């Protein structure tokens, strides 16, 4: 997460207030409002802060939760997991493996083959259509 300084100033200039709130202050967007909630194009979802590739569209599914959901990240290490006891719950926070931006949470009620549901805020993502670098 950002802690001030030139990098934080650059993020504040580049991101919308909601993107900054979610990725840097561990916020959450309102369910069913994000651009990628019902998005279905082929490609890759990346981190809005640093551009790291995070989730292939082929692992996206409709969980009915109101946030984009994926059953598996693109590769080991592209996201990191951290205990999150906030709001009186025991959850697992998901962050970008490169820059540490807050993305959302992972739950164990997803589909096979992994049984995981990465519930990710749309505003934390940037989509690259298949065939684009």
Tens digit of pLDDT per residue, the chain (133 long)? 555 666 888 999 999 999 999 999 999 999 999 999 999 999 999 999 999 999 999 999 999 999 999 999 999 999 999 999 887 888 999 999 999 999 999 999 999 999 999 999 999 999 999 987 5
27-42 as b/e: b if 16+ CB within 10 A:
bbbeeeebebbeeeee
Measured CA to CA, the distance from residue 99 to residue 132 in angstroms comes to 22
Task: Tell me if residue 119 is catalytic.
Answer: yes
**Is 3.30.40.230 the CATH classification of the domain at 6-129?**
no
């Amino acid at each position: 997460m950002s802690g001030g300084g030139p990098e934080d100033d650059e993020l504040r200039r580049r991101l919308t207030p909601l993107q900054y709130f979610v990725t840097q202050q561990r916020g959450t967007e309102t369910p069913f409002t994000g651009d990628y909630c019902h998005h279905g194009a082929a490609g890759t979802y990346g981190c809005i802060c640093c551009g790291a590739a995070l989730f292939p569209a082929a692992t996206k599914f409709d969980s009915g939760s109101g946030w984009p959901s994926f059953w598996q990240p693109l590769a080991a290490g592209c996201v990191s997991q951290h205990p999150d006891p906030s709001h009186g719950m025991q959850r697992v926070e998901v962050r970008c493996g490169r820059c540490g931006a807050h993305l959302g949470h992972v739950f164990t009620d997803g589909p096979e083959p992994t049984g995981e549901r990465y519930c990710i805020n749309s505003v934390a993502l940037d989509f690259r259509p298949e065939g684009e670098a």
